[in-house]
Structure 1
Amino acid sequence: MSAEIVVVGSLNVDLVVSVSRRPEWGETVLGKGFFTGNGGKGGNQAYAAGKLGASVAMLGKVGDDSFGNQLLSSFEEVGVDTTSIERVPGESTGVALINVNDEGENSIIVSPGANHHVTPEYVRKHEQVLQQAKLVMVQLEIPLETVLEVAEIANKYGVPLMLDPAPARKLPDELYKKVTYIVPNESELSIITDSEVTDMKSATKASRGLLEKGVDTVFSKLGSKGVVVIKSDKTFSVEPYKVSPVDTTAAGDAFAGALATALVEGKDLQSATKFANAVGALTVTKAGAQVSMPPLNEVEAFLKNTNS
C-alpha cells in the first residue's frame, strides 16, 4: 500500500439527534430527528481528502461489529485505502453521540471503543506506509503515546506532519518540534497555548508561541472571523465564506482533509487555505459528518461562483 496522504486516527459511527437544547442532568428532552453517520476525526479527515480525489490511506482500528463494516464500506466508496485498518475482537467500534441545535451547533460525547487499541506498536507495524507518504495527519482521539510515535516516525523519514489538536489538551513540547502544520480552532488554540483567543490579534499572538516551540505553520480557524495563517516569514488571513449553517459537525475535519489535499497537490499556502475554507463552508450547509462533505466538482463550482 502506498498513498500520498496517510491519516492515523479515530474511527467512529455517529449517532445524531436534533434538539432545541441540551438536557440537564436528570432531564429528558425530545429530539426532532435521528440518523447514523460515519465519523471520528481521523476517519472524517481521510474521507474528506478521498472525496476530493486525493490518494489516501487510513490507519486505525474498528470493532468486529456491523459499525466496523459500515465504516470500511464507506471508505471504499471514496477510494480510501483500508488495508491497514484492523479489527479488535470483542471490542465495539467507536461511537459518537451528537446533539445538534437549531443554529447548527453541536455537542458531542465520544465512546472510543476500538480507538483505544491504536497503539504505538500498531503504528510501528505499519511504519512503511508512513514512510512512503507525502503528508501524515494525526489528531488527539487516539492515545497520546501513539500520536508521539507517529510524529517520531514522520520526522525520521522527513514526512510533513499535520496535527489537529482536538480534543484539545496540553501537549508536550517534544511533539511541537515535529509538527509541520497545526490546525486548531480558537477554543483549541486557547487551551494548548494557555491563552485567551478571541480574535485575529490574540490568535496571532498565541500562534507565534507555537512557532517558538517548533511548529512550522499554524492555521488558526476562527469560524466567522476566517482563518489566520502564520509562518516565521509570513502572516496572512483568509476571509470566511458566507453560507447558511445547518450543522457544524466535521467542518474542521473537512477543512483539514481539504488542506492536506491542496498542499500535497503543490498549492501555495494562501490558495490551499482558501480551498480548505470553501470545503469547510460547504460542509456546514448539510447535516451529518462525512455525508455533508463536498466532492471536488462542487467545491470548484462554489469557488467559481464566489470569485466571479
Structure 2
Amino acid sequence: MSAPVVAVVGSTMIDMIAYLQRTPAAGETIAGEEFALGFGGKGANQAVMARLLGAEVVMVNSLGDDVFAEMTLANFAEHGIDTTHVTRVAGCSSGVAPIWVEADGTNRIVVVAGANARMTEEQARGAVTGLPRLDLVLGQFEIPQEVTTAAFRAARSRGAVTVLNPAPAARVAPELLAVTDWILPNETEFADLARSFGLAVSGIDDPAIVALAGALGTRLAVTLGERGAAVLGADGHVHRIAPPEVTARDTTGAGDAFVGAFGYALASGRDELAAARLGCACASASVTRPGTQKSFPTGDSLHSARTWATTA
C-alpha cells in the first residue's frame, strides 16, 4: 500500500526556547538555565510528525526573506517534506515564537506570525488542487482563516478529509466550519469554542463534547494533556483514550504531535479511535524530551509508540 498523502496548509516558526525555574514578574529580570533554537509553527510541527510516521507530506506556507527562511527550508528538506508550495515574501520576517518553559514543563508562548499572515487563498487553492493525489489536509489558526477555508474547500472537492486544529484559540469562521470534517481542540480551545456557541459547559464531560460537536457540525476529538484524549466516535459515543504513563520534561509541541499523528492515521484509512491512540502515544513520547520537533519520537521511541497504539 502506498504512503498516504497529507497536505499541511499552515504556519512555520522558529522557536526561541528559554528554560527557567519560574517566569519573571512584570519588570523583573531573572536568570534562565538553558536556551535552544528550534523549528516550530503548528503547521510545520504537524507536517514533521506526519512525515516521521511515513506520510508523503506537502507543506503550503509563506516564509520571509531572512536567514530563518533558509533554515526552515533546509529543515523541511532534511525531513523529506515537499516545499514546492512554500513561497517567499520580500521585506517580511519569517514567523518566530519566543517560548518560556518552567521547571515543571509548563510553557508560555508568544507567536509573531510574520510571513505566515501573508499567505493567500490563491496559493492554498492552487496547491491543493494541483496535487496528483491527496488523502487529507491539515489546518490551524496561525495563518488567515480564509486561506485555510480555500484549501479545505478545494480538498473537499477532491474527496479528501479536512482536519482543523483550532489553535491558538479563536472563533471559527462559519465558512471554514462548513468545509471541516474534524476539529481537534485542546481543553482551552474547547472551552473557547463552547462559549462562542453559547454553550454553558463547566468541564469536558461527555454531554459537553456531544453538544459542541452538534453545534460545530463536525467530528470532534479533544486533547486532554496527561489525561489523553476524548473522541466522539462514529457510534455517537464519547471514547476516552488514556495515554502511556511518562514523566514530562517539556510539553511544547505535544498537541502538534497528536494532531500530526491523528491526521496520518486517518489518511492511512484507520478509524478515529486508532488515530487517537497513535496521537496519544506520539504526544506522550514527545513530552519526555526538550524542544518541539526535535522532541518528536523517532527510531526506537517511534516504534514503541506505534506498538503501544496498536496494543493499548
- TM exceeds 0.5? yes
Match of 1:50 in 2: 51
Whether 1:183 and 2:184 are equivalent positions in the alignment is: yes
Matches within 5 A, 1:99-110: 99-110=100-111
Matches within 5 A, 1:194-209: 194=195, 195=199, 199-201=203-205, 204-209=207-212
Question: Unaligned stretches of 5+ in structure 2?
Answer: none
**1:204 & 1:79 partners in 2: Cα distance?**
42
Equivalent residues of 1:19, 1:30 under 8 A apart? yes
Match of 1:218 in 2: 220
Deviations 1:193-249 (A, max 9, x none): 115666541x6414432334320x211111122211114633211112210001111
User: Which amino acid in 1 is paired with 2:235?
Assistant: D
User: Which amino acid in 1 is paired with 2:284?
Assistant: A
How far apart are residue 40 of structure 1 and its match? 0.3
Equivalent residues of 2:4, 2:268 under 8 A apart? no
Whether 1:261 and 2:264 are equivalent positions in the alignment is: yes
Matches within 5 A, 1:16-165: 16-129=17-130, 132-165=133-166
Match of 1:270 in 2: 273
Match of 1:282 in 2: 285
**1:49 & 1:116 partners in 2: Cα distance?**
23
**1:193 & 1:33 partners in 2: Cα distance?**
38
Deviations 1:249-301 (A, max 9, x none): 11000111111111112222222211111000001011111000112652322
How far apart are residue 6 of structure 1 and its match? 0.1
User: Which amino acid in 1 is paired with 2:271?
Assistant: D
Equivalent residues of 1:190, 1:206 under 8 A apart? no
**1:3 & 1:239 partners in 2: Cα distance?**
26
SS of residue in 2 equivalent to 1:267: coil
User: Which amino acid in 2 is paired with 1:266?
Assistant: G
SS of residue in 2 equivalent to 1:137: strand
Instruction: Calculate percent identity across the aligned residue pairs.
Output: 36
Match of 1:301 in 2: 304
How far apart are residue 109 of structure 1 and its match? 0.6
Equivalent residues of 2:233, 2:273 under 8 A apart? no
**1:302 & 1:233 partners in 2: Cα distance?**
26
**1:56 & 1:40 partners in 2: Cα distance?**
16
TM-score w.r.t. length of structure 1: 0.92
SS of residue in 2 equivalent to 1:68: helix
User: Which amino acid in 2 is paired with 1:237?
Assistant: R
Residues 211 and 132 of structure 1, relative CA distance in 2, 3 Å threshold:
farther
**2:207 & 2:115 partners in 1: Cα distance?**
37
Equivalent residues of 2:85, 2:123 under 8 A apart? no
Equivalent residues of 1:52, 1:294 under 8 A apart? no
Equivalent residues of 1:184, 1:220 under 8 A apart? yes
User: Which amino acid in 2 is paired with 1:174?
Assistant: E
**1:255 & 1:16 partners in 2: Cα distance?**
21
**1:186 & 1:268 partners in 2: Cα distance?**
22
**1:297 & 1:260 partners in 2: Cα distance?**
21
**1:258 & 1:303 partners in 2: Cα distance?**
10
Match of 1:233 in 2: 235
SS of residue in 2 equivalent to 1:220: strand
Equivalent residues of 1:199, 1:222 under 8 A apart? no
Question: Unaligned stretches of 5+ in structure 1?
Answer: none
- Cα RMSD after superposing both structures: 2.2
Query: Aligned residues, how many?
Result: 305
Residues 138 and 7 of structure 1, relative CA distance in 2, 3 Å threshold:
same
How far apart are residue 4 of structure 1 and its match? 0.8
SS of residue in 2 equivalent to 1:162: strand
Residues 131 and 220 of structure 1, relative CA distance in 2, 3 Å threshold:
farther
